[in-house]
């Protein structure tokens, strides 16, 4: 499953392209970040399919929480926000922080929020998994980057992108996103 999810490289790329998180799909597509627009929207909560276990519901909640935390921190490009660690850890947390640091360094903020439609595509164990793969078609149409000094749009149009994420149960029982990949606009 990890071959579907590559780590995100978000230093200079995160400030140049539209988006806050990015990656390659393993084809010829470039790594591209995922960002906000002028009409803020709240991330849509997914309704787990009947029969899904609590672990899968908790993994979905952690995934959605990560993007909500990231959108909130992006309003000021607060790369040190303690909220980022509530739903992300490891590579995922590092990439979120790096993306926000790059935006801070380049004088950018994000406005709006992504629209999410996540669903569980795999779980490592049948009854009570400790690792879940989530696939999403995130929409960044209303979640774009702006110049912090003058409020001018600094981004190209957003759109729908395939997102793959690994969410794992932590030793304290909580669920956190450990890695994710955001593909090019138009991949879903």
The answer to whether residues 78 and 99 touch, using CB atoms and an 8 Å cutoff, is no
Q: What pLDDT does 101 receive?
A: 98
The answer to whether residues 96 and 21 touch, using CB atoms and an 8 Å cutoff, is yes
Q: What pLDDT does 31 receive?
A: 34
Which residues, in sequence order, are bridge partners of residue 109?
146
The answer to whether residues 188 and 169 touch, using CB atoms and an 8 Å cutoff, is no
What is each CA distance from 57 to 48, 102, 132, 156, 163, in whole angstroms?
6, 32, 10, 34, 18
Helices (H), the chain: 12-16, 54-74, 84-87, 90-105
Element (H, E) at 35: none
Which residues, in sequence order, are CB contacts of 38 under 8 Å at separation 6+? 111, 112, 142, 144, 153
Domains and CATH numbers, the chain: 2-185 (3.10.450.50)
What is the C-alpha separation between 56 and 74, in angstroms, rounded? 27
DSSP state of 115: B
The answer to whether residues 165 and 70 touch, using CB atoms and an 8 Å cutoff, is no
Q: What pLDDT does 105 receive?
A: 98
- The pTM for the full model equals 0.75
Which residues, in sequence order, are bridge partners of residue 134?
120, 165
Q: What pLDDT does 126 receive?
A: 66
The tally of CA atoms less than 13 A away on the side-chain side of residue 143 is 26
In order along the chain (188 residues), what is the average pLDDT of each group of 10 residues? 30 32 34 36 42 84 98 97 98 98 97 96 80 96 95 89 97 97 94
DSSP state of 145: E
What is the C-alpha separation between 20 and 17, in angstroms, rounded? 9
């Amino acid at each position: 499953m990890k071959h579907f999810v590559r780590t995100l490289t978000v230093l200079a790329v995160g400030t140049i392209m539209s988006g806050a998180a990015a990656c390659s799909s393993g084809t010829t597509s470039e790594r591209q970040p995922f960002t906000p627009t002028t009409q803020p929207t709240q991330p849509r909560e997914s309704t787990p399919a009947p029969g899904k276990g609590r672990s899968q519901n908790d993994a979905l909640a952690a995934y959605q929480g990560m993007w909500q935390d990231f959108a909130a921190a992006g309003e000021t490009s607060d790369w040190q926000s303690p909220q980022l660690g509530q739903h992300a850890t490891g590579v995922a947390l590092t990439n979120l922080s790096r993306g926000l640091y790059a935006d801070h360094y380049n004088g950018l903020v994000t406005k709006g929020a992504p629209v999410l439609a996540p669903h569980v595509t795999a779980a490592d164990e049948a009854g009570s998994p400790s690792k879940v793969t989530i696939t999403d078609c995130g929409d960044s149409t209303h979640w774009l980057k702006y110049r912090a000094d003058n409020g001018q749009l600094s981004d190209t149009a957003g759109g729908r992108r395939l997102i793959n994420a690994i969410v794992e149960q932590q030793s304290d029982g909580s669920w956190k996103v450990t890695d994710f990949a955001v593909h090019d606009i138009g991949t879903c």
